[in-house]
Amino acid sequence: MARSDLVMALLVAVLAAGCCASAGAVAYLSKLTVTLDVTASPTPGQVLHAGEDVITVTWALNATRPAGDDAAYKSVKVSLCYAPASQKEREWRKTHDDLKKDKTCQFKVTQQPYAAGAAGGRVEYRVALDIPTAAYYVRAYALDASGTQVAYGQTAPATAFDVVSITGVTTSIKVAAGVFSTFSVVSLAFFFFIEKRKKNN
């Protein structure tokens, strides 16, 4: 009986520890400090094409932050985020303060080890083929050793750029379709002429 009670007590302790750990891993955007300066190469309103155009993103600790302020930063995760204009009436893109539920920044650009201080980081990102047509800005999260967001930085949503997704219709397909359409019209006219000539004879 005593052994059973001991096992039960250990089980409860393990579950409690797991719950506390999970609770500690929850991050809220409103509680994060904006410590990273983030830049992206597209100009406001610039139109980029999925699978073709490249975005240059840079990030670094803000120069006003005290030395060692980024001691807990172990890695940086950079994502493309839907601009407010592309979130309207789209629940699947909705912003949520709880970052586990947030759907604003769904598209990962990179995740890499954090370089302390002003060194920062940089990435050249070719817009992925599966990026939907929308307006975007860029956000970078600083992650601690557990992978939890502890700070962030972003480009201004008001200066968002546009991405046009791939349609699946290439130039060669368009040319082929045009050729076949023209051939069809010419063939129809030819047969119409032949039939009319036969009737006249």
Residue boundaries of the structural domains of the chain: 29-164
Q: What's the helix, strand, coil split of the chain in %, to 5?
A: 35, 30, 35
Find out whether 106 and 86 touch, Cβ atoms under 8 Å.
no
**Among 96-105, 126-135, 149-158, 179-188, the least confident range:** 179-188
pTM score of the predicted model: 0.72
Q: Pull the structure tokens for residue 81.
A: 């985020």
Find the range with the poorest average confidence among 6-15, 134-143, 164-173, 176-185: 6-15
End-to-end CA distance of the chain: 111
Q: How many CA atoms lie within 13 A of 159 on its CB side?
A: 12
Confidence of residue 172 (pLDDT cuts 50, 70, 90): low
Give the residue among 172, 171, 166, 168 at the shortest CA–CA distance from 51: 166
The predicted structure's pLDDT at residue 108: 98
Interval 175-182 mean pLDDT: 56
**pLDDT category of residue 1 using cuts at 50, 70 and 90:** very low
The larger pLDDT score, comparing residue 191 to residue 77, is at 77
Integer Cα distance of 19 and 23 in angstroms? 6
CB 56 within 8 A of CB 40: yes
Here the contacts of 4-11 (C-beta below 8 Å, separation 24 or greater) are none
Looking at domain 29-164, which of 3.40.50.620, 3.40.50.10480, 2.60.40.1930, 2.40.260.10 is its CATH number?
2.60.40.1930
What's the pLDDT score for residue 119?
Answer: 85
| pLDDT tens digit sequence for 103-121 | 999 999 999 999 987 789 9
